[in-house]
Structure 1
Amino acid sequence: MAKFTLYLVRHGQTYYNVFNKLQGWSNSPLTQQGIDDAVATGKRLKDIKFKAAYCSDLTRAQKTISLLFDQNETFNSITPIVSPFFREEFYGYFEGLNMDEVWYQAGAPHGAKTFAEIIDQYDMNVAKDFLKQADPFHTAENAEEYWHRLQQGLDLITSNPNIEDGDSVLLVSHGNTLLSLVDRFSQPGQFDLRTRPANGSITKLAVDGDQLTVTDYNK
């Protein structure tokens, strides 16, 4: 397995982001700001020669990566691998509902009234478990279900035989997924996970075989 840099980009702003709604596997279109986010990020990355690119199969991520590709000539020689493995966390019954109200329902029975308080008192995995518990249909992904899916995506990347030492690889995904990766692969307290990654932001991981280390967050 190779040693390479994985660039994680959050999709551009959507209307659900503006309305403070949980998006999960649901979709809303990119706003004009979201389109501008993606174009600006593409320009920031235009001089990087990516060996491979991956993307969530949700529409907002695919639209974002297409805008990134428009800004980078090196993408002419590669085709992004689109997979549901890279989707956002599935919020089940809470899809499309107000984010603050949902996290209150999930966390308040455990003494944490906001997402930030859940992260402060517990962690990202516990937040997922709380949400599934609060879901009246229990269809939201808990931590075990979420990581089983996402790990298949990470394995898809690290097992790519075309990626060599020193290469750069792109992944376009989602806010809570980026937070989850940073939480799992950074040192405790290294980054403030109460700050969500901005739309179009860049987070970088150093990949060494199956070992991942976060080197930059929300740039």
Structure 2
Amino acid sequence: MLIHLHLIRHGQTFFNRYNRLQGWSNSPLTASGMADADKAAHMLQDIDFAAAYCSDTTRAQMTAQRILDVNEQNGHKRPELISDMHFREQFYGYFEGQDASLAWTAAGGPHGAPSYNAIVEQYGLAATRDFLKAADPFHDAESDAEYWHRVEGGFALIASNPQLHDGDHVLQISHGNTLLSLMQRFAPAGYDLSVRPRNGSHTWLDVDFEKPLDEAVTVQIYNELH
């Protein structure tokens, strides 16, 4: 069963605007964030979605609703929106809501990599999660293994939907670091991953759910804006 998975990064929030880590915590969409969602909605208005998923955060839910509103207005049947924790952003634990630059300095500084990009360049993307967990005094932040176990559960949730058929299009509202992580895992070459996916951007993955996950995903579009 090949599914066309359309991933939209949620609209800008106040935490995005203030450069604060925002994983499982939440802040409202800004006016610009609502415009991000509306632009994404018009970009996808001609796609007939068989299912729609998002994390159980209001920023993802609001983005999804605005997209589905426009989709429905353009004559498409509105699918039920399924909100689930498996689609959340990475959990930053103690560092939730903190200034991102300070948090990544705390994580990577002891390893000689005092920024997010420096950690990625010297140690790889997985280390950003493991270093942050180690720096978290409560060790609540997700490790790389914990993160992928949860995210893979999201793919399994989509695969288990009995209403989906081969060739269906599925909407999923996603998050910045998750989109980067998916691209690093499934398309590590040929894309500039030094630039974060933009709010409201469109990433298209074709997923063959009859194959093991690491063989199942083909990237069609990354970080597209209209």
TM-score by length of 1: 0.95
Contact kept in structure 2, 1:119 and 1:194, CA below 8 Å: no
Q: Which residue of 2 aligns with 1:200?
A: 200
Contact kept in structure 1, 2:12 and 2:30, CA below 8 Å: yes
Q: How many angstroms does 1:70 deviate by?
A: 1.3
Q: Which residue of 2 aligns with 1:83?
A: 84
1:72 aligns with 2:71: yes
Describe the superposition over 1:146-205 as per-residue Cα deviations: whole angstroms up to 9, x where unpaired: 11111111101122222222211110021111111111111x332222211100001111
Structure 2 CA distance, aligned partners of 1:193 and 1:179?
7
Structure 2 CA distance, aligned partners of 1:60 and 1:160?
24
After the TM superposition, which residues 60-209 of structure 1 pair with which residues of structure 2 at under 5 Å, given as runs?
Answer: 60-73=59-72, 76-186=77-187, 188-209=188-209
Q: Tell me, what secondary structure is at the counterpart of 1:126?
A: helix
Q: Tell me, what secondary structure is at the counterpart of 1:171?
A: strand
Describe the superposition over 1:108-149 as per-residue Cα deviations: whole angstroms up to 9, x where unpaired: 221212111111222221110010011111110001111111
TM-score by length of 2: 0.92
Q: How many angstroms does 1:75 deviate by?
A: 5.4
Contact kept in structure 2, 1:11 and 1:172, CA below 8 Å: yes
Unpaired runs of 5+ residues, structure 2, are none
Unpaired runs of 5+ residues, structure 1, are none
| Aligned AA (1:52) | A
Q: Tell me, what secondary structure is at the counterpart of 2:194?
A: coil
Contact kept in structure 1, 2:48 and 2:77, CA below 8 Å: no
Aligned pair in 2 of structure 1 residues 44, 105: CA closer, same or farther (>3 Å)? same
Equivalent position to 1:215, from 202, 220, 225: 220
Q: Which residue of 2 aligns with 1:21?
A: 20
Structure 1 CA distance, aligned partners of 2:54 and 2:94?
25
Q: Which moved more, 1:157-166 or 1:122-131?
A: 157-166
Structure 1 CA distance, aligned partners of 2:180 and 2:108?
18
Structure 1 CA distance, aligned partners of 2:220 and 2:184?
12
After the TM superposition, which residues 24-43 of structure 1 pair with which residues of structure 2 at under 5 Å, given as runs?
Answer: 24-43=23-42
Structure 1 CA distance, aligned partners of 2:58 and 2:162?
28
Structure 2 CA distance, aligned partners of 1:163 and 1:89?
27
Q: What CA RMSD, in Å, does the superposition of the two structures yield over aligned residues?
A: 1.2
Q: Tell me, what secondary structure is at the counterpart of 2:223?
A: coil
Q: Tell me, what secondary structure is at the counterpart of 1:203?
A: strand
Stretches of 4+ moved more than 3 A in 1? 74-77
Q: Which moved more, 1:33-42 or 1:151-160?
A: 151-160
Describe the superposition over 1:55-101 as per-residue Cα deviations: whole angstroms up to 9, x where unpaired: 10011000110111111025543101110110111100100001011
| Aligned AA (2:189) | G
Q: Which residue of 2 aligns with 1:51?
A: 50
Structure 1 CA distance, aligned partners of 2:78 and 2:99?
41
Q: Which residue of 2 aligns with 1:11?
A: 10
Structure 2 CA distance, aligned partners of 1:126 and 1:83?
26
Structure 2 CA distance, aligned partners of 1:184 and 1:44?
26
Structure 1 CA distance, aligned partners of 2:123 and 2:220?
23
Contact kept in structure 2, 1:25 and 1:91, CA below 8 Å: yes
